[in-house]
């Protein structure tokens, strides 16, 4: 099982596009870019599709938007647009995820 995991990680690395090494400051003193909206790898060259996410319940029963964009995962809190309050209920237990969280077919390496 462990070797499979390693192979999976190797596949992921092999498919990664331009890998820059590190952040820090370049010779002109400008900070190096460490993240940008569009990835440079094979699978997710587009930005995130708008208005599309799964809902993940956190341990307090509050909802969060959840997106698996292949190599990256994103999560951000759902808030009521009027009051700004979080959206929390017990319609599902903490930790449960509803609706599709994947935005592409990038191979998923799941924990066992």
Residues near other proteins (CB under 8 A) are 12, 16, 19-20, 23-25, 29-41, 44, 47-48, 50-53, 55, 65, 67, 69, 71-85, 87-89, 91, 98-99
Rounded to the nearest whole angstrom, what is the least distance from the CB of residue 109 to other proteins in the complex? 12
Rounded to the nearest whole angstrom, what is the least distance from the CB of residue 79 to other proteins in the complex? 5
- Rounded Cα distance between 62 and 87, Å, is 6
Dihedral over Cα of 95, 98, 100, 103: its sign:
negative
CA 68 to chain centre: 4
Rounded to the nearest whole angstrom, what is the least distance from the CB of residue 101 to other proteins in the complex? 13
DSSP state at residue 90: S
């Amino acid at each position: 099982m462990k070797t499979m995991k390693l192979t999976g990680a190797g596949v992921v690395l092999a498919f990664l596009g331009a890998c820059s090494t590190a952040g820090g400051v370049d010779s002109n003193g400008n900070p190096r870019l460490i993240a940008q909206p569009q990835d440079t790898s094979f699978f997710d060259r587009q930005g995130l599709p708008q208005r599309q996410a799964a809902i993940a319940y956190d341990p307090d029963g509050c909802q969060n938007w959840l997106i698996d964009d292949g190599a990256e995962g994103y999560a951000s809190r759902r808030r009521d647009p009027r009051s700004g309050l979080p959206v929390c209920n017990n319609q599902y237990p903490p930790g449960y995820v509803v609706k599709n969280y994947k935005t592409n077919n990038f191979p998923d390496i799941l924990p066992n």
